[in-house]
Amino acid sequence: MSNLSELQRQFNEAEAKVNELRKKLDEERKGERTQAIVAARELIKTHGLTGSELGFSSKKSNKPVSSDKRIVVAPKYQDPASGKTWTGRGKAPTWLAAQLAAGRTKQDFLI
């Protein structure tokens, strides 16, 4: 039995050592990351680089560049009273739903 308890003790010590090493590794990574951020900021400042030049934002706005290439769809229906439009995709807007409930058809609102 003492052999088993000795193995358990050694295992616990090894596990504690692994956890300690993981903690040190995480701290070193955080330090390297901080240094990398400082260096990158300095290079950006030195060379006058912009976010769009680095691929972080589009030239039209400061929003991040997205790989989402959604197609913009032209409106198909328009509310003559408010001028609001709807593409015909997704859930119908409240202005159209109210008109449909009143007995009108979608064709009445085609652009």
pTM metric for this prediction: 0.39
Give the pLDDT band of residue 72 (cuts 50, 70, 90): confident
What is the pLDDT at residue 23?
Answer: 95
Predicted pLDDT of residue 69: 78
- The rounded Cα 56 to chain-centroid distance in angstroms is 13
25-64 tens-digit pLDDT: 999 999 999 999 999 999 998 999 888 888 886 555 555 5
Q: Is the pLDDT of residue 74 over 80?
A: yes
